[in-house]
Amino acid sequence: MVNDGRRLPKELAELIEDVQSLDRTERQDLLIETADRFQAVPERVARRPFPESRRVQKCESQAYVWSESWGEGLKFYFAVENPQGISAKAMAVILDETLSGRPLEEVAAVPGDIVFQIFGRELSMGKGEGLTGIVTMVAQQARDEIARRSLAGERP
pLDDT band at residue 66 under the 50/70/90 scheme: very high
Q: What is the pLDDT of residues 104-114, one digit of tens each?
A: 999 999 999 99
Mean pLDDT of 128-141: 98
pLDDT of residue 145: 96
Of 32, 5, 18, 155, give the one whose Cα is nearest residue 98. 18
pLDDT band at residue 5 under the 50/70/90 scheme: very low
pLDDT band at residue 1 under the 50/70/90 scheme: very low
Q: What is the pLDDT of residues 13-65, one digit of tens each?
A: 999 999 999 999 999 999 999 999 999 999 999 999 999 999 999 999 999 99
Domain ranges of the chain: 2-151
pTM for the full predicted model? 0.93
Which residues have a Cβ under 8 Å from the Cβ of 33 and sit 6 or more positions away? none
CB neighbour burial string for 112-126, b if at least 16 within 10 angstroms, e if fewer:
bebbebbbeeebeee
Give Dmax over CA atoms of the chain in angstroms.
49
Class of domain 2-151: alpha beta
